[in-house]
């Protein structure tokens, strides 16, 4: 069914997939709460769409999630669809990723969606809802250079799969986009090589909205990735070849970074 006249929360709304989702959902009578750490981006959204509500909050700190829940109760009362889209990554050899960065990656990519799931289940027992988490194709297909990020996305993937194995989770949707052409890569590292295939944020958002409208629990925005993943079962050499290519990119990038710092 079309997403119309719903109470919607979008985290990571100021850019990338979150911004694209907001653009697609503002014209159907939906009441939207846009959340991001980027205040400038939120101000820009508010100018474009005065009817939305915004909240600046840093979701790499789990304690700040309570601010989101307070805003929901204040602005909406209940949520129909919660898009847990905010996420971060760091690119590089695994041993070069700092512990503090790993902690933030797991908090925002894994713990925040899980805590959100708990809150929705506890506070909306009598109101149906859907939690839509932006996972990643990397949950299935680990890409060299993203050890911590891949681990965090694999963790939220297995969380969802375990809920379903327990007979729960019909309200939980995970989207698995491949690399998306957004500011995500700027945050992940300087001039990092983008893993193939690369999608646009708009195409990913369209696929997510379409999947949610159909009530899907798993959404694969990239047809190319889905086909390659299936094909690899019959031609298992595809994955090692892909890993070799991406590993070469990683080591070349890492060496270049070290040379710059010398």
In a domain, 2, yes or no: no
Per the domain annotation, does 131 fall within a domain? yes
Block means of pLDDT (10 residues each) for the chain, 262 residues, are 93 94 92 96 95 94 89 93 94 91 94 96 94 94 91 97 94 90 65 74 94 95 84 85 88 78 63
Q: Whole-structure pTM over 0.75, yes or no?
A: yes
Question: What span, in angstroms and rounded, lies between the C-alpha atoms of 69 and 79?
Answer: 10
Domain of 66, in residue numbers: 7-261
Q: How far is CA 32 from CA 25, 47, 183, 217, in A?
A: 8, 14, 22, 22
Instruction: Identify the CATH number of the domain in which residue 130 sits.
Output: 3.40.50.720
- Whether 58 maps to a domain, the answer reads yes
233 located within any domain: yes
Per residue, the 3-state secondary structure of the chain, as one string, reads CCCCCCEEEEECCCCHHHHHHHHHHCCCCCEEEEEECCHHHHHHHHHHCCCCEEEECCCCCHHHHHHHHHHHHHHCCCCCEEEECCCCCCCCCHHHCCHHHHHHHHHHHHHHHHHHHHHHHHHCCCCCCEEEEECCHHHCCCCCCCHHHHHHHHHHHHHHHHHHHCCCCCCEEEECCCEEECCHHHHHCCCCCCCCCEEEHHHHHHHHHHHHHCCCCEECCCHHHHHHHHHHHHCCCHHHHHHHHHHHHHHHHHHHHHHHHC
Contacts of 37 (CB under 8 A, 6+ apart): 14, 56, 57, 58, 59, 60
pLDDT of residue 214: 95
- Pair of tokens at residue 62: 């789990």
- Any domain includes 97: yes
Of the candidates 31, 36, 67, 35, the one whose C-alpha atom is nearest the C-alpha of residue 50 is: 31
Q: Could you report the per-residue pLDDT of 101-148, keeping only the tens digit for each?
A: 999 999 999 999 999 999 999 999 999 999 999 999 999 988 899 999
Task: Please report the pLDDT score of residue 256 as a whole number.
Answer: 77
Residue 1 falls inside a structural domain: no
Q: How many domains does the chain have?
A: 1
Chain segment 14-38, per-residue pLDDT in tens: 999 999 999 999 988 999 999 999 9
Task: Name residues whose C-beta falls within 8 Å of residue 243's C-beta, 6 or more positions apart in sequence.
Answer: 144
Alpha-carbon gap, residue 85 to 18, rounded angstroms: 6
C-beta neighbour count of 250 within 10 angstroms: 20
Does some domain include residue 206? Answer: yes
Query: Hey, which residues does 84 pair with through a beta bridge?
Result: 133
């Amino acid at each position: 069914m079309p997403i119309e006249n719903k109470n919607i929360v979008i985290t990571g709304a100021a850019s990338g997939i979150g911004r694209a989702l907001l653009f697609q959902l503002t014209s159907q009578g939906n009441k939207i709460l846009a959340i991001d750490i980027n205040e400038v981006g939120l101000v820009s959204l508010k100018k474009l769409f005065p009817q939305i509500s915004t909240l600046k909050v840093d979701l790499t700190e789990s304690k700040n999630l309570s601010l989101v829940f307070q805003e929901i109760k204040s602005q909406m009362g209940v949520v129909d669809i919660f898009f847990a889209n905010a996420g971060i990554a760091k690119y590089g050899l695994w041993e070069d990723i700092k512990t503090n960065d790993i902690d933030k990656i797991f908090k925002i990519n894994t713990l925040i969606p899980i805590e959100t799931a708990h809150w929705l289940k506890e506070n909306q027992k009598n109101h149906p809802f859907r939690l839509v988490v932006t996972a990643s194709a990397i949950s299935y297909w680990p890409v060299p250079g993203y050890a911590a990020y891949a681990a965090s996305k694999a963790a939220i993937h297995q969380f969802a799969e375990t809920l379903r194995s327990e007979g729960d989770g019909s309200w939980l949707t995970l989207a698995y986009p491949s690399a998306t052409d957004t500011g995500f890569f700027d945050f992940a590292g300087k001039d990092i090589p983008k893993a193939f295939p690369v999608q646009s944020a708009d195409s990913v958002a369209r696929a997510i909205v379409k999947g949610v409208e159909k009530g899907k629990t798993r959404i694969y925005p990239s047809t190319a990735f889905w086909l390659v993943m299936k094909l690899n079962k019959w031609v298992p050499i595809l994955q090692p070849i892909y890993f070799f290519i991406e590993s070469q990119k990683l080591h070349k990038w890492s060496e270049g970074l070290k040379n710059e710092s010398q």
